[in-house]
Amino acid sequence: MPGAAGPAPDGLPAAEGAGPACPDGLGELDDLAAVERAAAAVLPRDVWDFVAGGSGQERTLAANRAAFDRLYVTPRVLRDVSACATDTTLLGRPARLPVAVAPVAYQRLLHPHGEVAAARAARAAGVPFTVATLSSVPVEEVTAVGGTVWFQLYWLREPGRSLDLARRAEDAGCAAVVLTVDVPWMGRRARDVRNGFALPAHVDAARLDAGAGSAAHRAPGRGSAVAAHTAGAFSAALTWRRVAELRAATRLPLVLKGVLAPEDAVRAVELGVDAVVVSNHGGRQLDGALPGVEALPAVAEAVRAAGGGCEVLLDGGVRRGVDVLGALALGADGVLVGRPPLWGLAVAGEAGVRHVLDLLTAELRDALGLAGCAGVAAARELRVTRLP
């Protein structure tokens, strides 16, 4: 189904081996596993490894998915689900389903239009799109698409620069700031190290150091150029004091992404954070970290006990509508999905991302109705059992 890259529209250079396939064939990809296989077939091996890989021995990467596979819900019966709906609110704004597109760096590795194409698909699906600090497209071009856009922030070695990025995102029309708190430096990702992964010349971090001369473009031999770049850019001294500074510096809702401990979630509530994302960074940071869905119930209980209306989101391993249902039943207000939209982007650009989100929408509606839930709120009343 996927084909070689053709000429890029709008004068953008095509990513070698990552050209969009004919959207007419998307109907053959009837679940996200099929989209994943199609993406693996079209992408160059080093780019696929950058997207798919985790840190260390990839134990946590595998555990994220395995934890969902152990979840079983107890459906309720004799309830009217004739008008079953997936709509909800996330950070005070309406969303057509309790899903946001997670922040992922350098999306022009996958398609010439990168983050712009993905944001258009998210807007059409009625869900938030999170643009990353390491976006390969300027934030202003992403927010110009419309829809709800969140901005993901890494804390940089120059603290003033981080606050400047947050203000720029606010000025651009972003609806929230999502501070990633689990990356003092990039985890050792063995696939990238083996591949000597470096960015091609036409892809860069548009918000940090535009151009092909950054450390992320210089293959280090046996090592990851992207990891070397972030080691020089990111601060390992991010503390709660910086969170308080950021809270005071922006009027936007503030989200902390990368929380697994209930104690950290309570501290976030005390500082006026609007949401926490229970996350181990998709298995890409500490290998051996607890899967997010296992940490979720305790974090959700602690946040609710602390009061203040802080929302609880989850990411890591979400691949099916029933995964979203399970997360809701365990206390989440919604989930973030990272890799699946990238698969769609690689296969068919904007149409591919929209196909991924349409699949999740259809699967979630099916899961809600079959579980006896007329809407998202009812899913939070379901009982969940973990089986071996």
Q: Helices in the chain by DSSP H: which ranges? A: 32-42, 45-52, 59-69, 114-125, 139-143, 159-172, 190-195, 225-233, 240-249, 262-270, 292-306, 321-329, 339-370, 376-379
Nearest C-alpha neighbor of 170 from the set 178, 182, 158: 178
Three-class SS of residue 109?
helix
Classify each residue of 65-99 as buried b or exposed e, where b means 16 or more C-beta atoms within 10 Å of its C-beta.
Answer: bebbeebebeeeeeeebeebebebebbeeebebbb
261 burial via Cβ count (<10 Å: 0-12, 13-18, 19+) = middle
| Residue 156 CB partners (closer than 8 Å, separation 6+) | 162, 165, 233, 234, 235
Half-sphere exposure of 99 (CA within 13 A, CB side): 31
Is residue 202 part of the annotated active site? The answer reads: no
* Integer CA distances (angstroms), 192 to 53, 58, 236, in order: 8, 13, 21
Nearest to 120 by CA among 342, 339, 350, 336: 350
Pairing between β-strand 334-337 and β-strand 383-386 as defined by DSSP bridges: unpaired
Q: Could you give the CA distance from residue 387 to residue 100 in angstroms, rounded to a whole number?
A: 28
Tokens 């063995």 correspond to what residue?
190
Contact 95, 357 (CB under 8 A): no
Which of 120, 115, 279 minimizes the C-alpha distance to 205? 115
Cite the active site residues: 281
